Amino acid sequence: DRAKLQSRFRRYDSIVYLGSVCVDCGYKEHLDGFEFDHLPERGRPMRHALVHTDWEIVKSELDKCELVCANCHNIRTAARRVA
């Protein structure tokens, strides 16, 4: 399906834009292992930002994020809940 393929490419472009490596542990093995961590101090995330066709809108949302692997994202989220 075309929409799914477009979404996959946008996700790939977003991962590349953020450096293609987990900022916490250095993971870089598989694209599906990455998640976008919206940092609270950088502002509230816009829902479904990756579906926008305007790359500038997507980049403005990605600038509020750090790229982390799923494991590090879970650890970060748990730490935020405790703090």
Q: For residue 66, what are the contacts with CB-CB under 8 A and spacing of at least 6?
A: 18, 23, 36, 37, 39
State residue 48's pLDDT score. 62
What is the residue-level pLDDT of the chain in tens, covering all 83 positions? 887 888 888 899 999 999 999 999 999 999 999 999 988 887 766 666 656 668 888 898 899 999 999 999 999 999 999 97
State residue 2's pLDDT score. 84
Distance CA 36, CA 59 (A): 12
* φ, ψ of residue 58 in degrees (nearest 5): -60, -45
What pTM, to 2 d.p., does this model score?
0.85
